[in-house]
C-alpha cells in the first residue's frame, strides 16, 4: 500500500499529499541544483566517476521503476507491531501472505529465540507479539519469519563512507528479497529511529534521534554459529545506543551469528567499523573511514571470501572519506548510476536499491531509491519531537535515470548479442586525475573534457573519439586497445605512423 502511515491506535491516517515535486523525474537532486544529462550526454565531476561500470555489472544491468513505502509508528512496541501488520496486510504481498505456505528454518526453537530477544532486545520481542496479533498468525511463525529465526541470510553488497560527521551509504541487494519499506519508529523506552526495514523487525541501515548512524555489510557465512542476525544487531544498536562508543561496546557484547561489518558514525563525528565474526571482533576507529564487504583488520583477513567488487569499491570510498564535502554532493557521488560504487548487478542479487546520506549532527537524512534519484530530506530530530514526515513514498528507477526504463531491453540484447560497447559520452567533463581501470570505453566520446593527469590501464578504447581535450600528463600504463580510436579526427594508428616516420630526433 503506497504511503503507509498509522497512529498509535493502529488506525491508518489519511494519506498526506506528497510535497516532493516529481514533475521532472529525470533531474538530479534539487539540493544540488544541476540537471542530469540525458542518455546521450554525460557531465560528471571526476570525484563522482573514478572509473566506468565494471564488466560484471554491465552484463546484469537493468532499469525498472521502483518505489519504497514509508511507514511511521508511535506508541508502545506492541503498538508498533500492530501498525506494521496493518500496513502490510493492505499490500499485494500482505494479501498473498495468508495463502503462502509456512516456512520454518532448520533447527528453529521458539524458546531459544525468546531467551535471546528477552536478553538483548525485549522491545523487539514485544513488537513480535503485536506483529503476530496483527497478522493473525501464531507467535512461533512471526518469530520464525520476521525475527531471528532465519540465521543464514543471502549475500549482499554495501558501501559506506564516513567523513566530517557525514555518513553515506549504498545498499546493494536483490530486488526480489527487498522489503521496500522505510520505517520510522518511536517505541516507548528506546530511541526513536528511522531505517530501511528487513523482515520488519530488522534494519539494514538507519539513524536514531541522537544522530547515531549504523549500517551492515555482509562479509562471510562460512563460520556461522548460533547468535543474533545482522539485521537485528543494527536495530538493537539504533534502539539502545546514542554514541559510537556505546554502539561499539554493545556490539562487542552481542553474540554474532555471521561475519558482518558494521559502519557507525555519531553526532560528534566519531566513526568506527566493527568487523564482527563468530570467531572474534576487531574495531577500526577514526573520523574518516570507508567500509565495504571484507575485513581489513589483519587478524580477520583470513576469513574473507573472494570479493573483487568489494576491493574495487574501497579505494574510491577512501578517497571520498578524506574530502570535505556536503551531504548533497556525497549523495550524488554514491547514487549516480555511472559512479564507481554504484552496483548494477540486479539480476545477480547485488544492485544498488537505495542510497542515504546522514548529517549526524543535524539529525537529518537524505534518502533516494534506485539510481540518479531525487533525494528526499528527512528530519529525524523534528520527527522525534512530534512532527510528521514530509513523504509517504520514495520513487525512483533501478539502474538509474540516464536511460528510460525498458522492460524488453534484455530480450532484445539476448536476441542480437551484446556488443560490449560502453555507450558513454563525456561532454564538458572534468576528469582530471581520474583513474580508468579494467573497463570498456568502446566507442566512447570525450569532448571539451579536461583529462590532465588521467590514468588508463587494462581498458578497451576501440573506436573512442577525443575532441578538444587536454591530455597533459595522461598515463597509459598497460593493456589498452586503441584500434579505431581518434584524436581530433585523426586515427591513433596514423598518429603513430607519423611519429615513427620522423625518425630519431637529432640533438642541436
* Digit-coded pLDDT (tens) for 414-432: 444 444 444 466 766 667 6
What tens digit of pLDDT does each residue of 269-311 get?
A: 999 999 999 989 999 999 999 999 999 999 999 999 888 889 9
The pLDDT of residue 168 is above 70: yes
| Mean of pLDDT values over 390-405 | 84
Per-residue pLDDT at 376 exceeds 50: yes
Residue 62: per-residue pLDDT: 73
* Least confident interval from 195-204, 312-321, 407-416: 407-416
Report CA dihedral (47, 52, 57, 61) to the nearest 10 degrees. 90
Q: What is the DSSP string of 256-282?
A: B-SEEEEEEE-TT--EEEEEEETTEEE
pLDDT at site 149: 65
DSSP states along 212-256: -EEEEEEEE-TT--SSB-HHHHHHHHHHH-SSHHHHHHHHHHS-B
* Start-end of H helices in 390-485: 409-416
* Of 467 and 219, the one with more pLDDT: 219
Look at residue 68 and give its three-state secondary structure: strand
pTM equals 0.72
419-501 maps to which CATH number? Answer: 2.160.20.80
C-alpha cell at 52: 566506468
Determine which of 125-129, 269-273, 375-379, 404-408 has the lowest per-residue pLDDT on average. 404-408
Q: Using alpha carbons, select from 261, 236, 256, 257 the residue that is nearest to residue 246.
A: 236
Q: Are 50 and 95 in contact (CB under 8 A)?
A: no
Pick the CATH number of 61-75+153-398 from 3.50.50.60, 3.40.50.10140, 3.60.60.10, 3.40.920.10: 3.60.60.10
**What percent of the chain is modeled with pLDDT above 70?**
74
Q: What is the pLDDT at residue 430?
A: 65
Residue 41 has pLDDT above 60, yes or no: no
Give pLDDT, residue 1: 44
Q: How do 202-208 and 213-220 pair as beta strands?
A: antiparallel
Gap between the Cα atoms of 353 and 363, Å rounded: 23
Average pLDDT, the chain: 81
Report domain extents, the chain. 61-75+153-398, 419-501
Residue 29 has pLDDT above 70, yes or no: no
Q: Which carries the bigger pLDDT value, residue 325 or residue 453?
A: 325
- Ranking 65-79, 257-271, 407-421, 478-492 by mean pLDDT, the lowest is 407-421
Give the mean model confidence (pLDDT) for residues 449-463: 78
List the grid coordinates of 382: 523534528
Q: Is residue 348 within 8 Å of 2, Cβ to Cβ? A: no
Amino acid at each position: 500500500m503506497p504511503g503507509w502511515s498509522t497512529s498509535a491506535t493502529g488506525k491508518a491516517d489519511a494519506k498526506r499529499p506528497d510535497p516532493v515535486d516529481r514533475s521532472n523525474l529525470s533531474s538530479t537532486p534539487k539540493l544540488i541544483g544541476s540537471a542530469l544529462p540525458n542518455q546521450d550526454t554525460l557531465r560528471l565531476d571526476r570525484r563522482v566517476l573514478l572509473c566506468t561500470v565494471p564488466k560484471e555489472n554491465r552484463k546484469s544491468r537493468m532499469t525498472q521503476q521502483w518505489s519504497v513505502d514509508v511507514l511511521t509508528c508511535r506508541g508502545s512496541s506492541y503498538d508498533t507491531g500492530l501498525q506494521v501488520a496493518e500496513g502490510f496486510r493492505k499490500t499485494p504481498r500482505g494479501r498473498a501472505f495468508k495463502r503462502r505456505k509456512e516456512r520454518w528454518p532448520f533447527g528453529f526453537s521458539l524458546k531459544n529465540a525468546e531467551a535471546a530477544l528477552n536478553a538483548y532486545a525485549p522491545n523487539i520481542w514485544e513488537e513480535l507479539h503485536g506483529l503476530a496479533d496483527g497478522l493473525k498468525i501464531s507467535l512461533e511463525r512471526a518469530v520464525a519469519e520476521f525475527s531471528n529465526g532465519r540465521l543464514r541470510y543471502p549475500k549482499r553488497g554495501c558501501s559506506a563512507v564516513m567523513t566530517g560527521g557525514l555518513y553515506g551509504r549504498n545498499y546493494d541487494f536483490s530486488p526480489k528479497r527487498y522489503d521496500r519499506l522505510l520505517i520510522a519508529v518511536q517505541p516507548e523506552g528506546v530511541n526513536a529511529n528511522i531505517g530501511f526495514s528487513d523482515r520488519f523487525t530488522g534494519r539494514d541501515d538507519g539513524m536514531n534521534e541522537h544522530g547515531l548512524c549504523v549500517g551492515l555489510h555482509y562479509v562471510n557465512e562460512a563460520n556461522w554459529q548460533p547468535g543474533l542476525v545482522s539485521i537485528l544487531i543494527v536495530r538493537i544498536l539504533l534502539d539502545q545506543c546514542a554514541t559510537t562508543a556505546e554502539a561499539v561496546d554493545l556490539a562487542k557484547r552481542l553474540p554474532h551469528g555471521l561475519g558482518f561489518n558494521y559502519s557507525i558514525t555519531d553526532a560528534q563525528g566519531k566513526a568506527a567499523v566493527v568487523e564482527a565474526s563468530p570467531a572474534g571482533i576487531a574495531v577500526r576507529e577514526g573520523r574518516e573511514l570507508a567500509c565495504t564487504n571484507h575485513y581489513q583488520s589483519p587478524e580477520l583477513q583470513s576469513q574473507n571470501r573472494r570479493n573483487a567488487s568489494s576491493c574495487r569499491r574501497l579505494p574510491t570510498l577512501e578517497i571520498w572519506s578524506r574530502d570535505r564535502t556536503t551531504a548533497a554532493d556525497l549523495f550524488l557521488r554514491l547514487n549516480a548510476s555511472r559512479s564507481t560504487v554504484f552496483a548494477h548487478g540486479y539480476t545477480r542479487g547485488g544492485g544498488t536499491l537505495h542510497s542515504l546520506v546522514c548529517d549526524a549532527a543535524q539529525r537529518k537524512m537524505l534518502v533516494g531509491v534506485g539510481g540518479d534519484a531525487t533525494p528526499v530530506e528527512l528530519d529525524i530530530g523534528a520527527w522525534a519531537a512530534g512532527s510528521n514526515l514530509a513523504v509517504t513514498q520514495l520513487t525512483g528507477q533501478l539502474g538509474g535515470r540516464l536511460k528510460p526504463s525498458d522492460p524488453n531491453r534484455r530480450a532484445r540484447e539476448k536476441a542480437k548479442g551484446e556488443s560490449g560497447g560502453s555507450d558513454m559520452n563525456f561532454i564538458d567533463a572534468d576528469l582530471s586525475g581520474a583513474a580508468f581501470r579494467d573497463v570498456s570505453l568502446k566507442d566512447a566520446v570525450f569532448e571539451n573534457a579536461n583529462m590532465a593527469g588521467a590514468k588508463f590501464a587494462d581498458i578497451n578504447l576501440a573506436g573512442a573519439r577525443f575532441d578538444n581535450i587536454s591530455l597533459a600528463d595522461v598515463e597509459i600504463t598497460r593493456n589498452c586497445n586503441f584500434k579505431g580510436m581518434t584524436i581530433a579526427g585523426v586515427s591513433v594508428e596514423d598518429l603513430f605512423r607519423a611519429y615513427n616516420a620522423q625518425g630519431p630526433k637529432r640533438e642541436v
